[in-house]
Amino acid sequence: MLIRKVLNFSAIGLLLVASISLATPAYYRVKAELAQILLIHAWQATLANPGVKHKPWDWADTWPVAKMTILKKEQLSDKASLDYLWEKSFIVLADSSGESLAFAPGMMTPQILPGDSGHSFIAAHRDTQFSILQHLNTLDHIIVERQDGQQFNFEVDEIQIVDINKVSPVYSLDGNRLTLVTCYPFDSSDQNPQFRFLVTANLVN
Q: How confident is the model at residue 58 (pLDDT cuts 50, 70, 90)?
A: very high
Give the SS3 label for residue 101.
helix
**Is the predicted pLDDT of residue 203 greater than 60, yes or no?**
yes
Cα(78)–Cα(181) distance, integer angstroms: 25
Look at residues 173, 143, 137 and name the one whose alpha carbon lies nearest to residue 69.
Answer: 143
Backbone angles phi, psi at 149, to 5 degrees: 90, -10
0.85 surpassed by pTM: no
User: Which pLDDT belongs to residue 189?
Assistant: 83
Q: Are 177 and 120 in contact (CB under 8 A)?
A: yes
Contacts with 28 (C-beta within 8 Å, 6 or more apart), sequence order: none
Cα(174)–Cα(195) distance, integer angstroms: 25
What structural domains does the chain harbor? 64-203 (2.40.260.10)
Lowest mean pLDDT of 24-38, 86-100, 112-126, 178-192, name the range: 24-38
Question: For residue range 74-115, what is the model confidence (pLDDT) as tens digits?
Answer: 765 555 555 788 999 999 999 999 999 999 999 999 999 999
Cα(85)–Cα(201) distance, integer angstroms: 19
Report percent pLDDT > 70 for the chain: 79
Burial 118-131 (b: 16+ CB within 10 A, else e): bbbbbbbebebbbe
CA count, 13 A, side-chain hemisphere, 80: 17
User: Which pLDDT belongs to residue 109?
Assistant: 94
Longest CA–CA separation in the chain, Å: 81
Give the SS3 label for residue 51.
coil
User: Which pLDDT belongs to residue 192?
Assistant: 83
